[in-house]
Amino acid sequence: MNKTKKSPAAHKARRALVTRSTKETRIRGRLCLDGGGASRIRTGIPFLDHMLSLFAKHGLFDLELTARGDLEVDNHHTNEDSGIVIGELFKKALADKRGIRRYGTAFVPMDESLSKVRVVLDISGRPSLFFEPARVKMYFANSGYTVMDAREWLKAFSTHAGINLHVDILKGDEPHHILESIFKALGRSLAEAVHRDPRLKGLASTKGVL
Ligand SMILES: [Mn+2]
Tens digit of pLDDT for each residue in 172-196? 778 888 899 999 999 999 999 999 9
Instruction: Find the domain containing 93 and state its range.
Output: 15-194
- Ligand 1 geometric centre to CA of 50 (Å): 7
Whole-number average pLDDT of the chain:
90
Encode pLDDT of 88-140 as tens digits.
999 999 999 999 999 999 998 877 555 679 999 999 999 999 998 765 655 55
The percentage of the chain sitting over the pLDDT mark of 90, rounded to a whole number, equals 70
- Ligand 1 geometric centre to CA of 8 (Å): 39
pLDDT of amino acid 115:
63
Strand pairing of 128-131 and 164-171?
parallel
Residue 163 located in a structural domain:
yes
Residue 8 located in a structural domain:
no
Q: Are 172 and 108 in contact (CB under 8 A)?
A: no
Q: Are 98 and 63 in contact (CB under 8 A)?
A: no
CATH of residue 153? 3.30.230.40
pTM listed for this prediction: 0.91
Residue 209 located in a structural domain:
no
- Ligand 1 geometric centre to CA of 189 (Å): 19
Q: Are 49 and 37 in contact (CB under 8 A)?
A: no
Rounded Cα–Cα distance for residues 11 and 1 (Å): 22
pLDDT of amino acid 203:
82
The percentage of the chain sitting over the pLDDT mark of 70, rounded to a whole number, equals 88
**Total number of domains constituting the chain:** 1
